[in-house]
Amino acid sequence: MEHCNKEFAVGIDIGGTNTDIGLVNAQGNCLSRANLPTSKYDDVEIYVDDLANEIRKLLSDNNLSIEDIAGVGIGAPNGNFYTGSIDYAPNLKFKGRILLKEMMETRLHTHVELTNDANAAALGEKVYGGAKAMNDFILITLGTGVGSGIYINGQMVYGHDGFAGELGHAILYPNGRTCSCGRAGCLEEYASARGIIQTYKELCSEKGITYDEGVTCKELTAMADGGDATAQKTWEITARHLALALSNAVTFSSPEAIFLMGGPVRAGHWLLEPLKRYFDEFNLSIFKGKTKILTSQLPANNAAILGAAALVVNK
Amino acid sequence: MEHCNKEFAVGIDIGGTNTDIGLVNAQGNCLSRANLPTSKYDDVEIYVDDLANEIRKLLSDNNLSIEDIAGVGIGAPNGNFYTGSIDYAPNLKFKGRILLKEMMETRLHTHVELTNDANAAALGEKVYGGAKAMNDFILITLGTGVGSGIYINGQMVYGHDGFAGELGHAILYPNGRTCSCGRAGCLEEYASARGIIQTYKELCSEKGITYDEGVTCKELTAMADGGDATAQKTWEITARHLALALSNAVTFSSPEAIFLMGGPVRAGHWLLEPLKRYFDEFNLSIFKGKTKILTSQLPANNAAILGAAALVVNK
């Protein structure tokens, strides 16, 4: 792999609500940050103008110019590495196909790369995190949705069209919960924050327990810590769903490790202990005891920015 | 990719009943064949001795010597490319771990490579068949079991341990049919010859139709051709099961094409028409209409031999 000899890079994590921008050094430390409220912008041209200005400001605040950075890496929902575009992202106000790589290069005159947020996270894990020495691994992001980034033979898997690695939409239960994608039974409906809360509510309904409609995964973890059996059971059931999906992924690529990242992972042993147990139970015998289940070794608050920055550092 | 400049290679396809041996030229034609009855051998040393002798005889019959070939490629059940061994193959009499690559190299003093039969078939499709120009594709073998060989970024996917590509054991229905692997609901129990016959028998039982216990997939195709509604329905249901598995595989690697190979594929349009229809229905919207469903373009009688030979041609 060819490495750029410029020490700094800018990483951008575009989310539906916020856009986080970070200046990253060669050691994978995020030196300085800025952000933009994505959801406040209706016009993508104005958004990109402001994004470019924020980057210039971030650089000048750190006594750097655009020539001092290897480039700008962007992780975005529905981001396509091959085309450099964000294509029909359901969580963004900007509709249709946004040629963001090109729009940013025109404004900043530096190298820009773009991929989807989960692929960026996997790249971050490879370049700065726990997967440095691995050629075959999968990273799963649990959050509003479930995303995945996949490495095989030391390379990111983009597929023939740039959209590979959508394990959140592998169908686990063909007659299962209706998914936001319009199909049924996708992993995302069971292992995203929304899916986990849904499991909790179903358990409460079965047991005739009243629950707070606005309960969060963070609260479910606190409740499990406090001895709440329904919250504990929610994490166990979630682990079982996720283990089934991960054992299916192993039949595909037999990775050395599967990394987990995102809010629900903070449930810690409530999720991870049963996950490892069910994963071992569900794995085909030739795979048992081989693939490690690990949590991301990137700092949670900067993981997405580091992953995005790695896109240009690695070029 | 580095190509060997020797014109000939020997390809070996080891099955539980027979071992087929073929002399293959650079154009992917199988010039001459021989075989050994695998199941007649209890002692692996004698089997390997006889296998080496058959190869020498095949070469001398064609006025060639061992120096004239690029090497010997072997496709075998549970064959591991990394270790060159056959590991605990349930369908072979030879138990435990057979270091076949080493045993053959000692006897023949030529380059020997070994992988599992489905990976060999995928390699054959890449080198001699319909996947020559493709970097991302999956080959599925339907037969006694269901196997798969996967190409990503122009390379075979072996995984960190050499056992990747076991899509026959991806779990489709967590509470489904008991699988020979000891788990439940694997694709193999629905799309192998045995699984297809099981579907037919279940349909007959539901409808109170008497059936021949020894019915074969070939007969089911003939019956479908003759207007038998239950046989036709069997292929349609099989197509639906397979389509679900293939649409899940697409979420992983988004391949340009999925190739099908093996006896049940001879059902032709009875299988392929509903397969393409359900595949399009089941695919996530961003993948719809992209991945082609194709049949193998290797000659059926020599596909396994060509795939095995490609192992050494491609070195």
- Best mutation target among B253, B282, B291, B292 (most A Cβ atoms within 10 Å) is B253
Chain B neighbors of A118, CB-CB under 8 A: none
Q: Residue A315 pLDDT more than 70? A: no
Chain A neighbors of B161, CB-CB under 8 A: 254, 287, 290
In chain B, the residue whose alpha carbon lies closest to the alpha carbon of A257 is B160
Q: Is A160 within 8 Å of B248 when comparing Cβ atoms?
A: no
| Residues A258, A256: Cα–Cα separation, whole Å | 7
pTM of this prediction exceeds 0.90 = yes
Of B171, B181, B291, the CB nearest to A248: B171
Mean pLDDT of B64-79: 95
Q: Residue B142 pLDDT more than 90? A: yes
- Best mutation target among A82, A242, A252, A291 (most B Cβ atoms within 10 Å) is A252
Q: Is A164 within 8 Å of B87 when comparing Cβ atoms?
A: no
ipTM: 0.92
Chain A neighbors of B259, CB-CB under 8 A: none
Name the nearest CA neighbour of B69 among B7, B126, B159. Answer: B7
| The pLDDT of residue A2 | 41
Chain B neighbors of A162, CB-CB under 8 A: 254
Confidence of residue A4 (pLDDT cuts 50, 70, 90): low
- Best mutation target among A81, A189, A284, A292 (most B Cβ atoms within 10 Å) is A284
Q: Is A171 within 8 Å of B287 when comparing Cβ atoms?
A: no
* Amino acid at position A63, single letter: N
Q: Is A136 within 8 Å of B282 when comparing Cβ atoms?
A: no
- Shortest Cα distance from A159 to chain B (angstroms)? 5
Of A157, A163, A167, the CB nearest to B152: A157
HSE, CB side, 13 Å, CA atoms: give it for residue B70. Answer: 24
Per-residue pLDDT tens digits for A8-67: 999 999 998 899 999 999 889 999 999 999 999 999 999 999 999 999 999 999 999 999
Per-residue pLDDT tens digits for B225-273: 999 999 999 999 999 999 999 999 999 999 999 999 999 999 999 999 9
**Residue with the larger pLDDT of the pair A93 and A297:** A297
- Shortest Cα distance from A179 to chain B (angstroms)? 11
Q: Is A248 within 8 Å of B249 when comparing Cβ atoms?
A: no
Q: Is B252 within 8 Å of A252 when comparing Cβ atoms?
A: yes
- Best mutation target among A80, A155, A248, A294 (most B Cβ atoms within 10 Å) is A248
User: Cα torsion for A107, A110, A115, A121, to the nearest 10°?
Assistant: -120
- Shortest Cα distance from A169 to chain B (angstroms)? 7
Of B169, B249, B251, the CB nearest to A284: B169
Per-residue pLDDT tens digits for A218-242: 999 999 999 999 999 999 999 999 9
Q: Is A159 within 8 Å of B255 when comparing Cβ atoms?
A: yes
Mean pLDDT of B205-211: 96
Q: Following DSSP, what letter does each residue of chain B receive, concatenated?
A: ------SEEEEEEE-SS-EEEEEE-TTS-EEEEEEE-GGG-S-HHHHHHHHHHHHHHHHHHTT--GGGEEEEEEEETTEETTTTEEE--TTSSS-SEE-HHHHHHHHH-S-EEEEEHHHHHHHHHHHTSTTTT-SSEEEEEESSSEEEEEEETTEE--TTTS----GGGSBS-TTSPBPTTSSB-BTHHHHSHHHHHHHHHHHHHHHT----TT--HHHHHHHHHTT-HHHHHHHHHHHHHHHHHHHHHHHHH--SEEEEESGGGGGTHHHHHHHHHHHHHHS-GGGTTTSEEEE--S-TTTHHHHHHHHHHHT-
Q: Is B256 within 8 Å of A160 when comparing Cβ atoms?
A: yes
Q: Residue B310 pLDDT more than 50? A: yes
What b/e readout covers A27-47, taking b as 16+ CB neighbours within 10 angstroms?
A: ebebeeebebebeebeebeeb
